Structure 1
């Protein structure tokens, strides 16, 4: 018996397609689309999926054409805008299929009612269309990751652990930073997605182990944001951004029950970022570390004549002071040095095809 899948393309954006709909549309089964100009349909077609359009306009005529087509296929997909049962031809298709011996599977879809935003009782915030689209897309991403990790999923994904994925988390983070440095919004969109994948991947591993789920991660984050923004979600009054940072640091210290300012600073941070974080902690509540160009000049003089065992400490003090001055100027020292190093690399590439410095060819004997 032939099987006809009635697929709904949802109210518009492709982000609102269900995972099942995506699977069927990308399955390679014969595909007909009622309205190829619909937003989600355009996104699908941009991926190169083969499809047939519908020339008929009368619902009964469409139904008759679809059933004749379905009988020639083992399994096929007919896609319409919105929910499949909202299409005018839906009932005629179901009626004609029963007498033609075609098995019809109606695939649920998001409707306009399903996507109506609502106020969050915890925060009083209103989830508008971008938030709704993001939430639905995120739900699909989590479902895809669970599928990849399922018993009949991808062998590579199933073999991964938190440890084996750590290097990918670092790589994706640096690729995000690179896109930011290049101010490339197209790459940034893609790299943020790759970074998000790592977060969802780790959460799925934890879920498989019974430790926590992605929902726990998100709820913990929401609770943290609400708790550390009492000037928004409470009755605290602040005079500016500096007080916001001060409150954040104090609330973080209280919430985590830290006993010293050194608690919670990762030792494997990049050196400049490590120094930056230590200065913020020691200063207390986000106030800038006391630094001056006069002190920097003194350290430069000391470094110029330093040698032997003392050189390490002297240059360390010099770099620490530079980090403090950068912080006072509102500059990220880690990012500034990375961008400057990249600029020097490109300035000295010498037109090499691979973008790297070409060393002179050694003279022949």
Structure 2
């Protein structure tokens, strides 16, 4: 009672080893996983008798069931006393699930098992594509692509791409990792006279003229991303810019002169987030980081603090303010996290802040200042219990604004300005009750207006028209087009 597993190689009969050929030609009982292999025709020509499991391919519900049935059949025949030679395409230990199952079940059944080395299609693929496996390679069945780790760094060989549907499913799975345009190599009939190698973008993977059981896909490795990072490069660049012989403009900057730039960078980060543009967000976060490094360099030059102290201070603060993560405090929900944060922060600032409204930066935009004033007042109980009175307050302030604006004479200018401020303050309070950051909301609307206005401007240029040639109705129509396009 024994099982000997051999491989038929990648396709060409010349790739079968002499040891395998002797086992095939001398087998008492030769079983093929599939007769759909180029070497099988030669076995027939030379009078070698065999049976295959191709009939099971039509019966099985899926490949897992198929492979299990084949493995069980091989084991059962061996258990009846037969000496089985089981032949698989390629190499027995490369992407052969039936072999994995047989190895496990043979041990449980007490059967003698021998696996004979064989050449797989991988050796041909390495040569044809110039791939050195020493650099790392991952081999996976097309059906297992959903299990692919998202941080895969090696080249990828996908086997069993036997139909257009499988190729389509593989394409969709791979595009999640690599993108539509990523170039892959589709190989077919490797080692045979009809060998084909096509380099195509992923989105064309299922559009090739022929896809069959001898089709595989090679996906080159993505450029490796460093698993560690360092602030040193940007810190060193800033030090060079600020040093004698560096950039005159950078040398002249101070904390005060740089204030406007850090605000601008924050808003550009917000725009990238709103656009859901990953590449732009990466760039804008870098620009914001540069401003932080800039300020830290200026401080270091005057002996106030260093970039390392900035990092250490915020790290210590985050650990200190998250005792439920780094300590022994237990919290039930996010609300308790915020409560703990506020209490810890209050203790830290006890010597600095004596009033309920202390701690609001002077240079904040007005909408953000209003939001923080109201939030701090609410913490000591100066707030409505629900949103109903807030709506009433907005309506009240709007009525007062209308009344002030309707007064005759120039003397109403200051009163109207004051009433408009009250309206904005009331709207900020409404935003707070709704859980909306008013600064972010207005910034989003500003960007939306800009996009739609740019659309109108582009359309006018395409039509060879100027702003002065359009009436408001025509401009409104273009505005509606821009709105519909979003």
Asked if these proteins are the same fold (TM beyond 0.5), I'd say yes
**TM-score normalized by structure 1?**
0.56
**TM-score normalized by structure 2?**
0.43
1:278, distance to aligned residue in structure 2 (A): 0.8
CA distance in 1 between partners of 2:272 and 2:240 (Å): 30
| Residues 237-258 of structure 1: CA deviation (Å, up to 9, x unaligned) | 3232222222222322221221
Match of 1:261 among 347, 352, 356: 356
Q: Provide closer, same or farther for how the CA distance between residues 201 and 132 of structure 1 changes in structure 2, counting only shifts above 3 A.
A: farther
CA distance in 1 between partners of 2:348 and 2:392 (Å): 39
Q: Provide closer, same or farther for how the CA distance between residues 130 and 231 of structure 1 changes in structure 2, counting only shifts above 3 A.
A: farther
1:287, distance to aligned residue in structure 2 (A): 10
Q: Match for residue 401 of structure 2?
A: 303
Q: Match for residue 205 of structure 2?
A: none
1:349, distance to aligned residue in structure 2 (A): 4.5
Q: Provide closer, same or farther for how the CA distance between residues 310 and 165 of structure 1 changes in structure 2, counting only shifts above 3 A.
A: closer
Q: Match for residue 276 of structure 1?
A: 371
Q: Provide closer, same or farther for how the CA distance between residues 328 and 338 of structure 1 changes in structure 2, counting only shifts above 3 A.
A: same
**Unmatched segments (≥5 aa) in structure 2:** 1-131, 137-223, 406-411, 471-486
Between Structure 1 and Structure 2, how many residues are aligned? Answer: 235
Matched ranges for 1:35-114 at <5 A? none
Q: Provide closer, same or farther for how the CA distance between residues 332 and 131 of structure 1 changes in structure 2, counting only shifts above 3 A.
A: farther
Q: Match for residue 392 of structure 2?
A: 294
Q: Provide closer, same or farther for how the CA distance between residues 261 and 130 of structure 1 changes in structure 2, counting only shifts above 3 A.
A: farther
1:130, distance to aligned residue in structure 2 (A): 8.5
Which of the pair has the greater relative contact order for Cα pairs under 8 Å at 6+ separation? 1
1:229, distance to aligned residue in structure 2 (A): 1.4
CA distance in 1 between partners of 2:225 and 2:348 (Å): 32
Match of 2:315 among 210, 214, 222: 222
Q: Is the 8 A contact 2:271 2:447 kept in 1?
A: no
Q: Is the 8 A contact 1:176 1:192 kept in 2?
A: yes
Q: Provide closer, same or farther for how the CA distance between residues 132 and 349 of structure 1 changes in structure 2, counting only shifts above 3 A.
A: closer
1:167, distance to aligned residue in structure 2 (A): 2.6
Q: Match for residue 261 of structure 2?
A: 168
Give secondary structure in 1 for the equivalent of 2:330: coil
Q: Match for residue 437 of structure 2?
A: 332
Match of 1:179 among 255, 263, 272: 272
Q: Provide closer, same or farther for how the CA distance between residues 237 and 349 of structure 1 changes in structure 2, counting only shifts above 3 A.
A: same
1:326, distance to aligned residue in structure 2 (A): 1.4
Alignment of 1:212 onto 2:305? yes
Alignment of 1:344 onto 2:344? no
1:301, distance to aligned residue in structure 2 (A): 3.3
Moved more, 279-288 or 318-327: 279-288
1:295, distance to aligned residue in structure 2 (A): 3.3
**Unmatched segments (≥5 aa) in structure 1:** 1-34, 40-128
RMSD over aligned Cα atoms: 3.4
